[in-house]
Amino acid sequence: MRNPGSYGKSRCIMDWNGSSVLHRTGGMVGSLAGYHNPVLLSKKIAVIGSIREVKGILEKKSLRENILRFAAEQYGTEAEHLWTRYPNYVVLRHQNKKWYAIIMDVSREKLGLPGEGFIDVIDIKTEPLLAGSLRLERGILPAYHMNKGNWITVLLDGTVAEKQIMTLLDMSYQITGRTKSTGKSKKRNL
């Protein structure tokens, strides 16, 4: 941040915790509490909102990137973009082509979340009994794109800890990697 004594032609500058702003006209704007100029206050609120929005975008992007990096390092999985219509949808799957996760940006409205716009989510497969329990946690919803009995949707907005997401991703990888038993016995040729 610039020296508060040298205002010059600076624009709005704020430290990351939102405690002070250098107004674009050059004057120091106080904290929100007790600040009574409605014009400057509204500008400060707009700047705080913009900075929080930028931080949210950066955190969301890095969480998505961290998941993809984890999948590449842990399982050798390359992210696949299967649909040109949905360039932000990324599928993670085994070599046998079984999906273990899909990362999407979905309308908040479609998920029943308040607000407008899109939110990054990941669909992850779980055991059916665990899926019901997990859906009781904040930031975990019934699957948006997959079977709601076996899959969950996890918000990638920081609501769910990254470590928990990676644990769930690992579980999904293990579950989807299992081979299914058909229950039929194979006849032996004797």
| Positions in the chain whose pLDDT score sits under 70 | 1-61, 147, 179-190
What pLDDT, on a 0 to 100 scale, did the predictor assign at position 49? Answer: 54
Nearest to 173 by CA among 83, 37, 72, 86: 72
For residues 166 and 123, state if they share a domain: yes
Q: Which residue range forms the structural domain that includes residue 42?
A: 13-52
In a domain? residue 142:
yes
Residues 46 and 65 occupy one common structural domain = no
Same-domain pairing of 38 and 107: no
Which pLDDT value is given to residue 35? 42
Q: Enter the tokens of residue 4.
A: 């508060």
> How many Å apart are CA 56 and CA 138, to the nearest integer?
18
CATH at 122: 3.90.1150.30
Number of domains comprising the chain:
2
Give the span between the Cα atoms of 144 and 125, in whole angstroms. Answer: 12
Q: Residue 88 has what pLDDT? A: 92
**pLDDT tens digits, 62-111:** 789 999 999 999 999 999 999 999 999 999 999 888 999 999 999 999 88
Residue 5 belongs to a domain: no
Domain contains 44: yes
Strand partners, 28: 22
Whole-structure pTM value: 0.63
